[in-house]
Structure 1
Amino acid sequence: MLNNNTFDTSIENKSTDSSISPLSFSSLITKDTPLKGDPLAPITLIEFGDFQCPNCGRFARETGPQIEASYVESGQVSMAFKHFTVVGPDSKIAAMASQCANEQGMFWEFHDTLYNNQGHENSGWAKKDNLKKIASDIGLDKQSFDSCLDSNKYQSLVDNDLNLAKQI
């Protein structure tokens, strides 16, 4: 369970490794972490997702909206997104693109558009040119978005999210 202080590992499989310690909330949620809802909500649900993952897409289309309507809108829960780019190389490109959308305050619109129009895994639907078109279609500033995506400025953030997921 995660609250605004630490990640409680007490429910996890206990290891004899005494070097395992709780993760601080600030190591999980940073200024670049997309967050939906009240940042001071007593519970923060962190989704680790891949824009090419079919189950992640189903969660975004079906379960996520139910959680939002029942808990986020009432202020009980906030939702955060971390990148778990494991499906293929286009997963990383889509993740970086979503962070570029986040720069313009439109992460969740971009997130929803990607999942609502998700193609088959590694079929090419998440290539840079298509992501740039999607960004333009939803109203992102084309020049800023394209420049951001072409610069790979969020590559380390995306890599760090994946490494964090592996630690958890």
Structure 2
Amino acid sequence: MALPALALVACGAATGDSSTTPKPGAGAPAAAVSGELGHVKGDPNAPITLIEYASPTCPACKYFHDEIFPALEEKYVSTGKVKFVFREFPIHGQADVAAYVVALCAGEDRYFDVLDDLFENQEGIVQAANVGALGGMLKTVAKRHGIETDEAFDACLENPEYRDQLAAVYQSGEQFGVNGTPTFILDGKVRNFEGDFRTAEGFSKQIDALLAEKGVQ
């Protein structure tokens, strides 16, 4: 089935609006609970690292998540050849920030489960945000991942540590010149959602070349 053209277009640059861009507070954490800035899948000592900066409301990020990453995970991440690091880059304001806070609050062991849920329900989340019903939609997501009461949900959103954590990750993206999503850092080099990096086959070609350079079969 053909995908909408929008799904293959990277999402635009962050606006830098002070009301939506996460700001670090005193003692902002430099890394996630795992010790890595971001959230890791795969062998931490893998020969290649792939970092993704993404927005949960970006159609191109959903496309990567649904159509490209599963093949990469099976071929490279689960086999110990690639360490995958997911980093939050909330370019769409409070909708992104609140969605990511729910994922962080659910805990590192549930983070990717929440992320899957956010991408699966991306259209509903965006529609809810557009009509002022984002809180109710995210509460439904949160309840599926252990945040079961309104009080617990409100405590998550009010916890400044999560916004500090998002700010630290966001600022790391700015250091790479990230201004849209998804943006990839493959073996230390910035790659945009274009050319080979729009398909699983293209990604595989790039990764295979790097593995060959490192003498990894």
TM-score, scaled relative to structure 1: 0.72
Cα drift, residue 82 of structure 1: 0.8
Measure, in 1, the Cα distance between the counterparts of 2:82 and 2:36: 18
Aligned to 1:127: 134
Secondary structure at 2:122 match in 1: coil
> What does residue 40 of structure 1 align with?
45
Contact 2:125 2:134 in 1 (8 A): no
Distance of 1:64 and 1:153 partners within structure 2? 29
The corresponding residue for 1:97 is 102
**Which AA in structure 2 matches 1:163?**
Q
TM-score w.r.t. structure 2 length? Answer: 0.57
Cα pair 1:52 1:122 within 8 Å, conserved: yes
**AA at the equivalent of 1:70:** K
For 1:37-91, what per-residue CA distance to the aligned partner results, in whole angstroms no more than 9, with x for missing partners?
Answer: 1122122211100001110111111111111011011111121111111123211
Q: Distance in 1 between matches of 2:125 and 2:148?
A: 26
| Aligned twin of 2:4 | none
Confirm or deny: 8 A CA contact 2:38 2:88 kept in the other structure.
no
Q: Distance in 2 between matches of 1:115 and 1:154?
A: 20
Measure, in 1, the Cα distance between the counterparts of 2:126 and 2:147. Answer: 27
The whole-number CA distance in structure 2 between the counterparts of 1:46 and 1:31 is: 11
Question: How far apart in 1 are the matches of 2:75 and 2:100?
Answer: 27
The CA RMSD over aligned residues, in Å, is 2.5
Trace 1:11-160 onto structure 2 (pairs within 5 A): 30-31=35-36, 33-101=38-106, 103=107, 105-119=109-123, 122-125=126-129, 127-137=134-144, 139-143=145-149, 146=153, 147-160=155-168
Q: Which runs of 5+ in 2 are unaligned?
A: 1-29, 177-217
Partner AA of 2:143 in structure 1: S
Structure 1 segments, 4+ long, off by >4 Å, are none
Q: Is the 8 A contact 2:41 2:85 kept in 1?
A: yes
- Specify every segment of 5 or more residues in structure 1 that has no aligned partner in the other structure, as ranges: 1-26
Task: Show CA shifts across 1:9-37 (max 9, x none).
Answer: xxxxxxxxxxxxxxxxxx78744621111
Q: Which residue of 2 aligns with 1:17?
A: none
- Asked if the contact 1:36–1:79 (Cα under 8 Å) also holds between the matched residues in 2, the reply is yes
Deviation at 1:145, TM superposition (A): 5.4
1:122 Cα deviation after fit: 4.5
Check whether the contact 1:50–1:87 (CA below 8 A) recurs between aligned residues: yes
Q: CA offset at residue 135 of structure 1?
A: 2.2
Structure 1 partner of 2:5 = none
Task: Point out the more displaced range, 141-150 or 128-137.
Answer: 141-150
**Following TM superposition, by how much is the alpha carbon of 1:121 offset from its aligned partner in structure 2, in angstroms?**
7.8
Mark the CA change 1:121 to 1:127 in structure 2 (over 3 Å): closer, same or farther. Answer: closer
Distance verdict in 2 for CA 1:121–1:111, change over 3 Å: closer
Distance 1:90 1:107 in 2: 17
- Structure 1 residues 130 and 63: alpha-carbon distance in aligned structure 2, compared to 1, 3 A threshold: same
